[in-house]
Amino acid sequence: MKIAWFCIPAHGHTNPTLALVKEMVDSGHEVFYFSFEDFKEKIEKTGATYISCDDCNFEMKDKDNAERVAKDIAFATELLVNSTLALDEMIANKIKIINPDLIISDSVSYWGKLTAIKYSIPYISSTTTFAFNKYSSAYMKHGIGELVKMMFSMPKVNKQLKRLRQNGYPVKNILDIIQNDNETNTIVYTSKFYQPCSNTFSDKYCFIGPSIRPIETPFEKTSNITIFISMGTIVKNQKIYRYCIDAFSKTDYQVIISASSSNIKFEDLPDNIRIYDFVDQMAVLSITDVFITHCGMNSASEGLYFEVPLVLCPQTSEEEAVAKRTEELGAGIWLKSINNSSNIINTVNKILNEPSYKQAALEISKSFKECKGAKEARNFIEKTILN
């Protein structure tokens, strides 16, 4: 089987797919992975053929657009259409050469889905976040103000969709692009237990659990209690690191801060607190007692895999969905105000002193470990396409 695979230029969306890509290649299938230079090496290590999208005028690579995309559907649609049309000629040429039997694309790599629609190629969605339908979307509930803005944006959205139709993409409305229904074959990198409203999804949704890479560089535990803090690559409020330092400076906890994207420097760090540009996150989580996280799906899943309860500090609507579900299952506390060192230390100590949080994290971890991972996904793909 020949597979054309599409993903957005983001580590959090690419990394979970790599074990499955390798599984497909090792099983004799050919995978042609459309991506970007930052991800070339790790994609080629799977045995897949890397196809560069860098030479196209691809606007969605601009990180400055990320926050506006989440709030402005008209802008997001224009960006999507611009990016799809920028890739259109290159993809058309490659599709003609490859002649794929299947397209797999990240759930927000919409140009992959649009390519499948345009060329009538079987399609599977790869979802590295929660799967969202009309039920689970309540976990990302928008306020009335945003709904009103959306209504007024629809003429602009429809204008952009007309551009797609003029270029051979037969889409009727924005939902054709952004929404998967219960007839869409979908691979989801979490467990049914952790997935919100999992009973509302059909058997066309395959829940394979998170991709957890092996520990590469063990990390020494130097205290009875270890706190790990990582707020992802885009930190809206970098003062949180200062509040965390203040919160834990008078404790004997081992505090590990990963702040690779922030370039922050503190000259007055107490002996029990260390800031790193990079850590082996699997190694650190394996010795961690409480994880303070921005609730990126990968980070939260990795923490829970290692049975670590979470202090939840989401910054986007997707991260809020992760925070809501984790708190709902009792494996963490959503810290609504992070601009206060007392709130931070009190929340951490509550988690440490109440065994229910650790037990809930253990239950989620168990559900992850019961999933069959890449092999189950391969069987799902082969059954879907080859039967």
pLDDT per residue rounded down to tens, the chain (387 residues): 999 999 988 888 999 999 999 999 999 999 999 999 999 999 999 999 999 998 776 555 555 555 555 556 667 777 788 888 889 899 999 999 999 999 999 988 889 999 999 999 999 999 999 998 888 888 776 544 444 444 445 677 788 888 888 888 888 777 767 777 788 999 999 999 999 999 999 999 999 999 999 999 999 999 999 999 998 765 555 688 889 999 999 999 999 999 865 556 677 889 999 999 889 999 999 999 999 999 999 999 999 999 999 999 998 888 999 999 999 999 999 998 877 899 999 999 999 999 999 999 999 999 999 999 999 999 999 998 876
Q: Kindly state whether residues 316 and 171 are assigned to the same domain.
A: no
User: Residue 35 in 3-state DSSP?
Assistant: strand
Exposed/middle/buried for residue 112 (C-beta within 10 Å: 0-12, 13-18, 19+): buried
Give residues with Cβ within 8 angstroms of 11, minimum separation 6: 38, 39, 233
In a domain? residue 106: yes
> Residue 149 CA to chain centroid, in angstroms?
26
User: Residue 81 in 3-state DSSP?
Assistant: helix
- pLDDT value for 147: 43
In a domain? residue 219: no
Q: Kindly state whether residues 142 and 240 are assigned to the same domain.
A: no
In a domain? residue 214: no
In a domain? residue 221: no
Q: Kindly state whether residues 142 and 249 are assigned to the same domain.
A: no
Q: Kindly state whether residues 232 and 143 are assigned to the same domain.
A: no
In a domain? residue 216: no
| CA-based nearest residue to 230, from 275, 271, 273, 189 | 275
CA–CA separation, 378 and 23 (whole Å): 7
Which amino acid makes up residue 244? C
Q: Kindly state whether residues 201 and 230 are assigned to the same domain.
A: no
What are the phi and psi torsion angles at 354 (to 5°)?
Answer: -115, 105
Q: Kindly state whether residues 58 and 187 are assigned to the same domain.
A: yes
Enclosing domain of residue 196: 2-209+372-386
- pLDDT value for 353: 97
Q: Kindly state whether residues 151 and 8 are assigned to the same domain.
A: yes
In a domain? residue 217: no
CA–CA separation, 160 and 369 (whole Å): 43
pTM: 0.89
Q: Kindly state whether residues 61 and 165 are assigned to the same domain.
A: yes
What domain count does the chain have? 2
CATH code for position 104? 3.40.50.2000
- pLDDT value for 204: 94
- pLDDT value for 180: 74
In a domain? residue 314: yes
Kindly compute the dihedral angle of the four CA atoms of residues 86, 90, 94, 99, in this order, to the nearest 10 degrees: 50
Q: Kindly state whether residues 381 and 355 are assigned to the same domain.
A: no
Which run of H or E residues covers position 253?
none
Q: Kindly state whether residues 195 and 63 are assigned to the same domain.
A: yes
- Where helices occur in the chain by DSSP H, the ranges are 11-14, 18-26, 40-45, 66-71, 73-98, 110-119, 144-166, 174-178, 239-248, 281-285, 297-305, 317-328, 341-353, 355-370, 373-386
Give the count of alpha carbons within 13 A of 16, CB side only: 30
In a domain? residue 300: yes
User: Residue 202 in 3-state DSSP?
Assistant: coil
Q: Kindly state whether residues 78 and 154 are assigned to the same domain.
A: yes
CA–CA separation, 336 and 343 (whole Å): 9
Q: Kindly state whether residues 365 and 376 are assigned to the same domain.
A: no
